[in-house]
Amino acid sequence: MKTTVIVTTYNRPDALNFVVRGFFLQKDVDFDLVVADDGSDNRTRDIVSRLKLEAPFEISHVWHEDLGFRAAAIRNRAVKASQGEYLIFTDGDCIPRTNFVLNHKKLAEKGYFLSGNRVLLSQKLTREILTNASDVSRWDRWTILRHYCARDINRLLPLLSSTWLIPYRKSSPKRWEGVKTCNFSSWRSDLFEVNGFEEQYEGWGLEDSDLAVRLLKNGVKHKNARQATPTLHLWHPENDRSGLERNGQRLRSIMSSSRIEASVGLKQIDF
């Protein structure tokens, strides 16, 4: 199964460096990786250029002008540039465990999209990781437990990774709540059928919920990847949420309609 990993980023090259290097350490490195860059400055371009020289897989970089938070639009451009039939999404501040790609692939199934979760790291631990170049992807359970006891990790259970909870995985096939593209995977063809992400979402919030709702309307079911594909989320200040009410109105509108395609999405990209 040809697979592409898509990593969304904006002006955080230090975190992106750790995230992509986490993909260097994957147990399965049979994929290519696209950095979906929401208008970062040249520091990110420089980091990506260096990472390309070391990576055990192909890395490409898609960028658009910084016109504010437009994660939906840059993800669409990354999807269009992707080579895989199966696409795994994460963010440039979410460090993958070494079995992240392997388990997404193991759980992949026609007719389903996968939704995983993340574990939040404290500001203190994030600073230590970025300063000391900690090998986060390979942390053993004792290291994880130590950081949890120090209250530098907010949850322990997601990191006790397992793929065996098979009945539980399909227990909420219509669920869209809590689906986040920092830990999400889907068949490329399913994304094209709904015209990808809705680019009218600008500003933080709910563009991933909109995608999940439209996939469900088109008959693609939710499959739970929690405890199989956790990521470690590096601390950052809270995003500006001033556009959340507007985005919420847009989400409520799509939920009450029969429309499955994004009004501005993959079909509108010309490159």
Model pLDDT for residues 12-23, shown as the tens digit of each residue: 999 999 999 999
Q: What percent of the chain has pLDDT over 90?
A: 68
Q: pLDDT grade, residue 164 (50/70/90)? A: low
Q: pLDDT grade, residue 250 (50/70/90)? A: confident
What does the buried/exposed string (b/e) look like for 62-93 if buried means 16 or more CB atoms within 10 Å of the residue's CB?
bbeeeeebbbbbbbbbbbbbbebebbbbbbbb
Confidence at residue 204, expressed as pLDDT on a 0 to 100 scale: 75
Confidence at residue 97, expressed as pLDDT on a 0 to 100 scale: 92
pTM for the complete prediction?
0.94
Q: pLDDT grade, residue 237 (50/70/90)? A: confident
Model pLDDT for residues 191-227, shown as the tens digit of each residue: 999 999 999 888 777 899 999 999 999 999 999 998 8
The count of structural domains within the chain is 1
Domain that holds residue 43: 3-268
Rounded to whole angstroms, the Cα distance separating 126 from 102 reads 25
Confidence at residue 240, expressed as pLDDT on a 0 to 100 scale: 64
Residue 62 has pLDDT above 80, yes or no: yes
- Assess contact for 29 and 57: CB atoms under 8 A: yes
**CATH assignment at residue 146:** 3.90.550.10
